[in-house]
Amino acid sequence: MPWDRRGYYYRPYKRRRRASSRYFGRGPQAELAAAEDALRRADREARKDACRAADHEWQSAMKPLAELSRTSDALLRATLNSTGFHQYMRGAWRRRNHACENDFETT
């Protein structure tokens, strides 16, 4: 934490990807810096909460669309399979090759 066990306030920061800290001491300047940091943390947490709420709202709005997509995909897959198509390597749909069936009657 920024307050050390002796009561001195340090503000941690990164500079050129290295962690460092700025010393503020014990006085009113340290109290002001601590209050500023607390406000920044509270603001950042409020923005995170708002983002989480918006994400949750988006996910709940998209749930019926995802269900519709899964259902229509299953219906399409069943229709294509029943009409003689197969999906090659999870890619394009192809008509099955019925080479082993004799289309001509031999007498």
As a whole number, mean pLDDT of residues 26-36 equals 91
Q: Residue 32: CB partners within 8 Å, gap ≥ 6?
A: none
Rounded to two decimals, the pTM is 0.57
Per-residue pLDDT, 95: 87
CA–CA dist 18, 94 (Å, integer):
57
Residue scoring higher pLDDT (42 or 100)? 42
As a whole number, mean pLDDT of residues 61-74 equals 96
Per-residue pLDDT, 6: 86
Per-residue pLDDT, 5: 81
Would you state the structure tokens that stand for residue 83, as one six-digit string? 């009409």
Question: Does residue 58 have a pLDDT over 90?
Answer: yes
CA–CA dist 80, 94 (Å, integer):
9
Would you state the structure tokens that stand for residue 52, as one six-digit string? 């989480």
